Structures are given as structure tokens and as C-alpha cells.
Amino acid sequence: MRLPVLARARHALTGFFRREDGNIALEAVIITPILFWAYMALFVIFDAYRQHSINQKAAYTIGDMVSREDRALSGAYMTGTRSLFDSLARSATPSTVRITSVWYDAANNRYVCDWSESIGTVGDATLAQVENWNTILPIMPNFERITVVETWTRYVAPFNVGIGDHDIHNFIFTRPRRAPAITWEDNSAACT
């Protein structure tokens, strides 16, 4: 008597596994969340790359603007620079802009900071920080000056798909175009 019950159960399970009439609905239930997550992840990745690109272009614009100055920079100039960067980068959070004048000392094989001024949450560059820029600054002739423009802004991801909120930092250096060096209005921005 047991044998017919087991045979019927086995026959019912075999028939159930061989049926194909409900597979599309089941597959759709399984794959829809995965497709939705993949679409959202692609959206966030594209948005992050787009924001990085916009911020880099805005930082290059600021660097080019500063390199064309022939008068000393001031606090009002820094405020306007930050406002311009925020407008160009379309940043939702307040940004930081730091401008540093650097020259190369060939005798000691090091970079020296003339002055540094920052507006935002990051402080002015120090002499020790500038000396460590030897891996990211170009090789220059002795006493050659460049202006380093750094920008920071916060990227806030629209959805949590693995790319979290993070800071976008740009490091742009340009050579002064109209004057031998970009100067600051007084000695208040001297590097320490």
C-alpha cells in the first residue's frame, strides 16, 4: 500500500518539474528587481562621472582665470572665485577653493610656497604640504612659479547602490600668463 502512494507522489513531482506553463511569470518576478537595481546603479555611476567631469572643467576654468591676473588677488577675489566655481560646478553643497603660489628651488630640489589662500573648510597650504607635492607637480626650471588651484566639493549620490557620498578634489596647476607671478594683496597669506 505504501508503494502506490510513493509512486503517485514521485509521479506528481516529476510532472510538476516538467511543466513549463508558469516559467515566464516566475522569471519576471526574479529578474525585475535585479534589472531595476542595475538601472539605478548605472544611473548613479553616470551621475558620479558627470559630476566629476563638471567639477574638473570648473576647476580648469578657475585656474585659467587666475593665471591671467596681473594684479594682486584679494579676499573679495577669492569670494567671487568660490561663487563662480559653485555656479559652474552646480554643487549642491558649499565648496572649498584654495589658491597657492609655488616656485621651484632647483638647488635643494624642492617646491616652495610663496602664499596660499583658501575659502571654505580646507585650510591654507603649508610649506610642508607644498614640499610633498614633488610627485604631482611638473619638473620646472629654477625659480619658475606656478599657481595651484585646488577645489573640493561633496558628491551626494541620489541612490545607495554602492557609490557612497564622497569629496571630489581637483588639483590644477597653471603658469602665470601676464605676470612673472600671481601675488596676494598683503602678507596675510604667506605660507607657514
Q: CA 134 to CA 82: how far, in whole Å?
A: 27
- Cα radius of gyration rounded to whole Å, the chain: 29
Q: What is the mean pLDDT of residues 108-133?
A: 89
On the 0-12 / 13-18 / 19+ scale of CB atoms within 10 A, 90 is: exposed
pLDDT over 70 (residue 2): no
Please, are residues 115 and 126 in contact by the beta-carbon 8 Å criterion? Answer: no
pLDDT over 60 (residue 65): yes
| 3 state DSSP class of 125 | coil
Q: What pLDDT, on the 0 to 100 scale, is given for residue 7?
A: 79
Q: What pLDDT, on the 0 to 100 scale, is given for residue 42?
A: 92
The whole-chain average pLDDT of the chain stands at 87
pLDDT over 80 (residue 111): yes
Q: 87-98 pLDDT, tens per residue?
A: 998 887 889 999
pLDDT over 80 (residue 45): yes
Confidence of residue 85 (pLDDT cuts 50, 70, 90): very high
Q: Name the least confident of 4-8, 144-148, 186-190.
A: 186-190
Q: What is the mean pLDDT of residues 77-87?
A: 92
